[in-house]
Structure 1
Amino acid sequence: MLCATGAASTAGFAGYVTAGTQENENEDEDTEFNVVDIMFVRMMIPHHEGAIQMAELIPERTDREELLDLRTEIIEEQEAEIDLMCELLNDANVAGCDEVGSMMPHEMGEIMRGGGMHDNGEMHGDDMGDGMQDGDDMSDGMGPDEMEEMMPREHMMTHDDRRELRRAENEEFDCLFAEHMIRHHEGAVAMSEHVLDEVESERVSDLADDIIDAQQEEIELMEEWRDDWDC
């Protein structure tokens, strides 16, 4: 549905915020969002989409009831928050969800590691800057340092991770899914904690708090399952 983007520098996003405020006659609305708000929302959308993609694998790979129930919960919660974040981007007068980048979440992880998109050959290593910028001014000033500050690379899922998960079945899938989703959720928690001291919008702050609470609860649940399943 949506594609991954990444963090941009203050200079890069300032242009979007300024452009939006010039068109908005309501000064109170002009000051609702800062650069960190927009950066956080834009990175969290594809991150949520990655969780949905993982959850959608469950019915085909396992019949474990706990995971089937969790699948429904993840998809409903993440889709609702994606809708909210799309509204926030619209309210901030910046490019909306239909205009965000061209990479999937696992591809962002590969590029942050300097490995490029190994399977399709479209982008490798030092080409990251050019590839991120083609056709999307949103990425002006974007670089690996800014991306990793917002989303530490140890929480990014690679193409190899996704391929491994797709090929697993039954007990192997159950343990791999829990492992990767725990790491993925830890990434969302890290992103949310990172921005709380810098956000301007109360709505974005509330969203970050909600993400921390919900995903930390699921992390603890899946950690218990891993113990019960002898993973």
Structure 2
Amino acid sequence: MLCATGAASTAGFAGYVTTGRQDDEDEDEDTEFNAVDVMFVRMMIPHHEGAIQMAELVPARTDREELRDLRTEIIEEQEAEIDLMCELLDDAGVAGCDEVGGMMPHEMGEMMRGNGMHGNDDEMHDDDEMGNGMHDDDEMGDGMGPDEMEEMMPREHMMTHDDRRELRRAENEEFDCLFAEHMIRHHEGAVAMSEHILNEGESERIADLADDIIDAQQEEIELMEEWRNDWNC
């Protein structure tokens, strides 16, 4: 089941990229995207990076084959979608992945409020890498204010520093249950963002991407909920 989902999602990516390249020379290409489309992509890239960071913890902390298989699928899917979203930002003619990579959505909000970033020295890169994100005078535009971000991504779906620290220190059965719990919530956030863009966006390519995100992550949510029941979490 897991491999089939990944293959289906990856097959869709080629269509998106091909369409984008065919339209590159269209002088009106930037009219395909509204401000909410751009905000969605800029928030979803670091959100996907957060899922990859979580998945990379799996091999050292559990021997469950189902989690190891899920880890592979999550990384492959999220990396492929990040590549696609970078292309979409290029097609929209706005600042690309270098400006939005390496920062979680709740940390984006703190940066936009001018609170800065503070973390500790851990393997999830709380400080150094995440400090390379947005600033108040960034060219990312007026659509990325904290209120708009909160509307697209409610905070109950975001991992906190404490959540990440707890997951990072867990092992074996404790890790398995925590990983499923946090990844379910993380996936629910991606679904919420995708449902928001389907209502507020204009780009058909981004809407297609949002549909794929909803389908793939809902399937993984249901799978992890079954596992949590089986594991008596």
- Give the TM-score category using the shorter length: 0.7 to 0.9
Counterpart Cα distance in 2 of 1:181 and 1:115: 27
Counterpart Cα distance in 1 of 2:60 and 2:112: 30
Counterpart Cα distance in 1 of 2:135 and 2:159: 22
Percentage identity across paired residues of the two chains:
88
Q: Which residue of 2 aligns with 1:181?
A: 183
Counterpart Cα distance in 1 of 2:114 and 2:136: 18
Tell me, yes or no, if the aligned pair for 1:90 and 1:96 is still in contact at 8 Å: yes
- 1:91 CA drift (Å): 0.5
Counterpart Cα distance in 2 of 1:41 and 1:74: 18
Q: Of 147, 150, 153, which aligns to 1:145?
A: 147
- 1:145 CA drift (Å): 1.3
Question: Which residue type is aligned with residue 72 of structure 2?
Answer: T
**1:124-144 CA distances to partner (integer Å, 9 max, x unpaired)?**
xxxxxxx95256221546432
Structure 1, unpaired ranges of 5+: 1-23, 121-130
The 1:110–1:167 alpha-carbon spacing in structure 2 relative to 1, beyond 3 Å, is farther
Q: Which residue of 1 aligns with 2:32?
A: 32
Structure 1 length normalisation: TM-score?
A: 0.77
Tell me, yes or no, if the aligned pair for 2:58 and 2:71 is still in contact at 8 Å: yes
Alignment of 1:215 with 2:220, yes or no, is no
**1:16-35 CA distances to partner (integer Å, 9 max, x unpaired)?**
xxxxxxxx973542321111
After TM superposition, list the pairs within 5 Å mapping 1:60-209 onto structure 2. 60-100=60-100, 103-105=103-105, 107-108=107-108, 117-119=117-119, 132-134=134-136, 136-138=138-140, 140=142, 142-209=144-211
**1:178-208 CA distances to partner (integer Å, 9 max, x unpaired)?**
0000000000000000110222111100000
Structure 2 length normalisation: TM-score?
A: 0.77
Counterpart Cα distance in 1 of 2:101 and 2:57: 24
- 1:36 CA drift (Å): 1.2
Tell me, yes or no, if the aligned pair for 1:155 and 1:187 is still in contact at 8 Å: yes
Counterpart Cα distance in 2 of 1:182 and 1:34: 29
Structure 2, unpaired ranges of 5+: 1-23, 121-132
Counterpart Cα distance in 2 of 1:173 and 1:71: 13
Tell me, yes or no, if the aligned pair for 1:58 and 1:71 is still in contact at 8 Å: yes
The 1:114–1:100 alpha-carbon spacing in structure 2 relative to 1, beyond 3 Å, is closer
Tell me, yes or no, if the aligned pair for 2:108 and 2:134 is still in contact at 8 Å: no
Counterpart Cα distance in 1 of 2:223 and 2:173: 17
State the SS of the aligned residue for 2:202.
Answer: coil
Counterpart Cα distance in 1 of 2:179 and 2:146: 27
Tell me, yes or no, if the aligned pair for 2:36 and 2:200 is still in contact at 8 Å: yes
Q: Which residue of 1 aligns with 2:130?
A: none
- 1:114 CA drift (Å): 11
Question: Which residue type is aligned with residue 80 of structure 2?
Answer: A
State the SS of the aligned residue for 1:174.
Answer: helix
Counterpart Cα distance in 1 of 2:221 and 2:71: 14
Counterpart Cα distance in 2 of 1:65 and 1:115: 41
Question: Which residue type is aligned with residue 140 of structure 2?
Answer: M
Report which stretch shifted further, 169-178 or 133-142.
133-142
Counterpart Cα distance in 1 of 2:182 and 2:88: 28
